Amino acid sequence: MNYSSDQIVPVLAAIILNHDGSVLLAQRRADKTNPLKWEFPGGKLKTRESPEFCLAREIEEELGLKIVVRQLFSAVNYSYPHENILLLAYFAELISGSLRLSDHKEVRWVPLEKLVSYELSPADIPIVERLVENFKGSYPSTFSR
């Protein structure tokens, strides 16, 4: 799907929490936009996809992981030189899969308090700041069944 320069591109991001409260961060490849920056994995919303379906599909395609998308945590409008995005960050629960990289150079499980020390993609920074502020010293218990 092509967007004009004045359109807002919907992009989804997964905040995948580990059992110890760490979060999965992915480092972009050098040949991608925002080269070598760290981000919450995800991707662009396609026509006729729900955000939840899109995010589960992107994580399985890019990382080989199956997730259940939970609630929306944060929305960030950000204008990059190449496009304007609305980044929707959802909490997600890891269900299964074997981690493999296709669109990223590296992934790491990062403790919440260390997220700010990574060189993040600019649109992800407000999400990290909100995560750290909201869950300082506690595990985000977001998965009520």
- Classify residue 74: in a domain, yes or no: yes
- Classify residue 3: in a domain, yes or no: no
Residue 123 has a CB neighbour count (10 Å cut-off) of: 22
Question: 142: helix, coil or strand?
Answer: coil
- Classify residue 140: in a domain, yes or no: no
Q: What is the DSSP string of 54-76?
A: HHHHHHHHHH-EEEEEEEEEEEE
- Classify residue 141: in a domain, yes or no: no
Per-residue pLDDT of the chain (145 residues; tens, 9 = 90+): 555 557 999 999 999 998 888 999 999 999 988 999 999 999 999 999 999 999 999 999 999 999 999 999 999 999 999 899 999 999 999 999 888 998 899 999 999 889 999 999 999 999 999 998 888 766 565 544 3
Range of the domain at 115: 8-134
User: What does the pLDDT read at residue 19?
Assistant: 81
Nearest to 13 by CA among 96, 65, 66, 72: 72
Number of domains in the chain: 1
- Classify residue 119: in a domain, yes or no: yes
- Classify residue 96: in a domain, yes or no: yes
- What's the CATH number where 61 sits? 3.90.79.10
- Classify residue 13: in a domain, yes or no: yes
Q: Which residues contact 11 (CB under 8 A, 6 or more apart)?
A: 42, 43, 44, 45, 85, 86, 87, 88, 123
CA distance 62 to 104: 8
User: What does the pLDDT read at residue 21?
Assistant: 80
| DSSP letter, residue 34 | S
- Classify residue 145: in a domain, yes or no: no
pTM of this prediction exceeds 0.75: yes
